[in-house]
């Protein structure tokens, strides 16, 4: 595809984007940025974004995406509570690395989500990219969970999912969304480096 065609498609996507979607994208970007900063505002901004996306997906009849955003909402509420919950001898939940056993559980959870979502998308939807869609979604779900429990490795899952999502949404013609995930990818790399440094200083 020529550069001019890509630019035209990008502009077309911008023109077709609703104000509600713009708000959702802005709050989504803010959420990722606050997460990088290990700032509790990651959750309220993220909740605003996913609640809007639940509505957008419902209107667009993208029920699987609506369901996943609802999962994000639940995990965001849990993360908000978990980050602020008082603990003995600790003022706040510290950033830590996963143990070897926890890493295995995270990988197994990703695999289980992948097969579950693949089955749903191949048998109950008309998705033309069910396996890639299932892969990115399962990776993001586990990444969201690891962020809620303040584990450094959450960023690795976000990075993997973003790397796949950039070309995926571009392939679907959603150039604006593809660009958004490219920004997410940059912030995720920065977030991983920042969280790793903080965990090593704990």
Instruction: Give per-residue pLDDT as tens, 158-173.
Output: 999 999 988 887 776 6
**Residue 61: what are its φ and ψ, rounded to 5°?**
60, 30
Lookup: tokens for 98:
């996963």
Are residues 16 and 1 in contact, defined by beta-carbon separation less than 8 angstroms? no
What number is the average pLDDT over the span 63-79? 84
pLDDT bracket for residue 154 (50, 70, 90): very high
Range with the poorest average pLDDT among 4-8, 47-51, 116-120: 4-8
pLDDT cut 70: percent of the chain above it? 84
Domain extents in the chain:
3-200
87: pLDDT strictly greater than 80: no
pLDDT bracket for residue 14 (50, 70, 90): low
The pairs formed by 11-18 with CB atoms below 8 angstroms and a separation of 24 or more are 13/173, 13/174, 13/175, 13/176, 13/177, 14/176, 17/176, 18/56
Question: What pLDDT does residue 99 have?
Answer: 96
Q: Tens of pLDDT along 93-147?
A: 889 999 999 999 999 999 999 999 889 888 887 777 788 888 988 999 999 999 9
Q: How far is CA 12 from CA 5, 17, 33, 165, in A?
A: 10, 9, 27, 20
Strand partners, 151: 96
Spatial CB neighbours of 143, under 8 Å, sequence gap ≥ 6? 154, 155, 156, 157, 158, 161
42: pLDDT strictly greater than 60: yes
């Amino acid at each position: 595809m020529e550069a001019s065609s890509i630019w035209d498609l990008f502009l077309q996507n911008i023109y077709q984007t609703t104000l509600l979607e713009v708000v959702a994208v802005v709050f989504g970007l803010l959420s990722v940025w606050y997460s990088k900063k290990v700032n509790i505002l990651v959750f309220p901004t993220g909740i605003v974004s996913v609640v809007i996306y639940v509505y957008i997906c419902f209107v667009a009849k993208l029920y699987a995406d609506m369901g996943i955003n609802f999962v994000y909402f639940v995990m965001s509420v849990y993360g908000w509570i978990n980050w602020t919950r008082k603990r003995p001898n600790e003022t706040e939940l510290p950033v830590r690395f996963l143990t070897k056993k926890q890493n295995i559980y995270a990988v197994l959870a990703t695999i289980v989500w992948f097969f579950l979502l693949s089955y749903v998308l191949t048998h109950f939807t008309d998705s033309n990219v069910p396996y890639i869609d299932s892969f990115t979604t399962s990776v993001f779900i586990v990444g969201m969970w690891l962020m809620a429990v303040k584990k450094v490795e959450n960023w690795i899952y976000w990075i993997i999912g973003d790397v796949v999502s950039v070309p995926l949404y571009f392939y679907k013609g959603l150039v604006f969304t593809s660009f958004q995930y490219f920004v997410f990818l940059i912030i995720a790399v920065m977030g991983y480096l920042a969280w790793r440094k903080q965990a090593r200083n704990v």
